[in-house]
């Protein structure tokens, strides 16, 4: 073990606008040795998610930023290699915030064991993990789609959006997805069963969205904002609900771009249409996890929920894959395979 190397990506500098490769620095270090109350984790899969862009900034937010020269933040599926914690043993597969590195130490805080029989362990980072819970809890607590209503979700081919649309269908609602490109739109309809899909890159996007929502919009699950929201806003029905879990259109912005939707118009609509607009962080609804885990596993098993992963190979490609993620280049849940998966190898 002492001859192996821990490869890890550090935050070299804070980005101004979109992240660039120079914002990251690859470092090689000795694999740490767990002390009392610690365990050593070998990272198998690393999740890449848009929220990480916010952690690269030192602007005030809901979470502490990654310090300069600190290991990049990230959730992982890992194997316990050595443990001084009674609840964990060597060979356990766990979900842990080990970050962008091949090995890490943990004191067990926030770590949970991953079930290994129901789906690939990588799905603990996607449809059976934080993105899936985001969709489930946001709809349950804020969106509350009802049978016969129209739900629209942006970034619909991604891990959150795809789950949102499929759960809405299970609830009896009509699901309209917004995605970038004909292939992603076709995937939403042909593979996931969305009722309609609209390409936000189309020059007549707003007109196409209105046509896809002839009865207006009752629930809009916001992942994007920007020009997508401008097209959605006029279509809100009375008492429409809007869970807000992301505004990826602005994550790299150094100033806020012009939008057609002005604050006075938005506030008037909130009042006259009695809109419910609520931001949330997935951990606000952590108590929903047991219900989510049960329901989502069942929906996957019976084929009512499908998922897609975009898995890239090797810790070296993490910055490139993350930069591409923020530009919408991924197709499905973006995951880095850092090390050998002992479950799939069996």
Please tell me whether residues 95 and 157 are part of one structural domain.
no
Mean pLDDT of 333-339: 96
Please tell me whether residues 194 and 259 are part of one structural domain.
yes
Please tell me whether residues 155 and 203 are part of one structural domain.
yes
Helix 159-170 to helix 289-301 angle (10° resolution) is 80
Whether residue 172 has pLDDT greater than 60: yes
Using the structure block, give the residue that is written with the tokens 């042909």.
190
Helix 289-301 to helix 130-138 angle (10° resolution) is 100
Please tell me whether residues 286 and 331 are part of one structural domain.
no
> What was the pLDDT predicted at 247?
75
Q: What is the CATH number of the domain that holds 101?
A: 3.90.180.10
Tens of pLDDT, residues 282-326? 989 999 999 999 999 999 999 999 999 999 999 999 999 999 999
Q: Is residue 277 part of a domain?
A: yes
Spatial CA neighbour of 115 closest among 297, 339, 338: 297
Please tell me whether residues 82 and 139 are part of one structural domain.
no
Q: Is residue 346 part of a domain?
A: no
Using the structure block, give the residue that is written with the tokens 């990230």.
74
> What was the pLDDT predicted at 59?
79
Q: Is residue 113 part of a domain?
A: yes
Residues 6 or more apart in contact with residue 181 via CB below 8 angstroms: 199, 201
Please tell me whether residues 106 and 137 are part of one structural domain.
no
Count the domains in the chain. 2
Is the pTM here over 0.75, yes or no? yes
Give the residue numbers spanning the domain of 285.
130-300
> What was the pLDDT predicted at 61?
76
Mean pLDDT of 76-91: 97
Bridge pairing between strands 217-221 and 150-153: parallel
Please tell me whether residues 287 and 140 are part of one structural domain.
yes
Mean pLDDT of 15-30: 94
Of the pLDDT bands very low, low, confident and very high (cuts 50, 70, 90), residue 1 is very low
Spatial CA neighbour of 139 closest among 220, 237, 41: 220
Q: What is the chain's length?
A: 346
Q: Is residue 88 part of a domain?
A: yes
> What was the pLDDT predicted at 258?
66
Please tell me whether residues 262 and 212 are part of one structural domain.
yes
Q: Is residue 234 part of a domain?
A: yes
Residues 6 or more apart in contact with residue 314 via CB below 8 angstroms: 336, 337, 338
Q: Average pLDDT over the chain, rounded to whole?
A: 92
Mean pLDDT of 155-161: 93
Please tell me whether residues 62 and 90 are part of one structural domain.
yes
> What was the pLDDT predicted at 346?
57
Please tell me whether residues 139 and 85 are part of one structural domain.
no
> What was the pLDDT predicted at 118?
79
Tens of pLDDT, residues 48-67? 998 999 899 887 777 889 99
Tens of pLDDT, residues 199-221? 999 999 999 999 999 999 999 99
């Amino acid at each position: 073990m002492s001859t192996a190397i821990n490869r890890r990506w550090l935050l070299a500098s804070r980005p101004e606008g979109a992240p660039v490769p120079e914002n990251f620095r690859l470092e090689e270090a000795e694999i740490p040795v767990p002390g009392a109350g610690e365990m050593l984790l070998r990272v198998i899969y690393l999740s890449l998610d848009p929220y990480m862009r916010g952690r690269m900034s030192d602007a005030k937010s809901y979470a502490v930023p990654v310090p300069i020269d600190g290991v990049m933040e990230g959730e992982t599926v890992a194997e316990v290699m050595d443990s001084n914690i009674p609840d964990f043993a060597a060979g356990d597969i766990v979900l842990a915030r080990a970050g962008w590195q091949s090995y890490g130490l943990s004191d067990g805080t926030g770590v949970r064991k991953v079930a290994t029989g129901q789906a690939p362990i990588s799905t603990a980072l996607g449809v059976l993990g934080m993105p899936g819970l985001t969709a489930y809890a946001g709809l349950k607590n804020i969106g509350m789609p009802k049978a016969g209503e129209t739900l629209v979700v942006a970034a619909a081919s991604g891990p959150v959006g795809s789950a949102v649309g499929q759960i809405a269908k299970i609830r009896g609602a009509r699901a309209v997805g917004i995605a970038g490109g004909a292939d992603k739109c076709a995937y939403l309809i042909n593979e996931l069963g969305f009722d309609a899909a609209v390409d936000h890159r189309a020059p007549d996007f707003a007109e196409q969205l209105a046509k896809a929502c002839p009865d207006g919009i009752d629930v809009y699950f916001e992942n994007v904002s920007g020009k997508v929201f401008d097209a959605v806003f006029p279509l809100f029905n009375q008492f429409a609900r809007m869970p807000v879990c992301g505004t990826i259109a602005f994550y790299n912005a150094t100033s806020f771009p012009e939008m057609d939707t002005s604050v006075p118009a938005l506030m008037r609509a909130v009042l006259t249409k009695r809109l419910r607009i609520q931001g949330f962080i997935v951990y606000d609804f952590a108590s929903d996890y047991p219900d989510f885990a049960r329901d989502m596993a069942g929906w996957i098993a019976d084929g009512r929920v499908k998922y897609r992963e975009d898995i890239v190979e090797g810790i070296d490609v993490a910055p490139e894959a993350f930069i591409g993620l923020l530009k919408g280049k991924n197709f499905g849940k973006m995951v880095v395979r850092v090390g050998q998966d002992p479950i799939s190898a069996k």
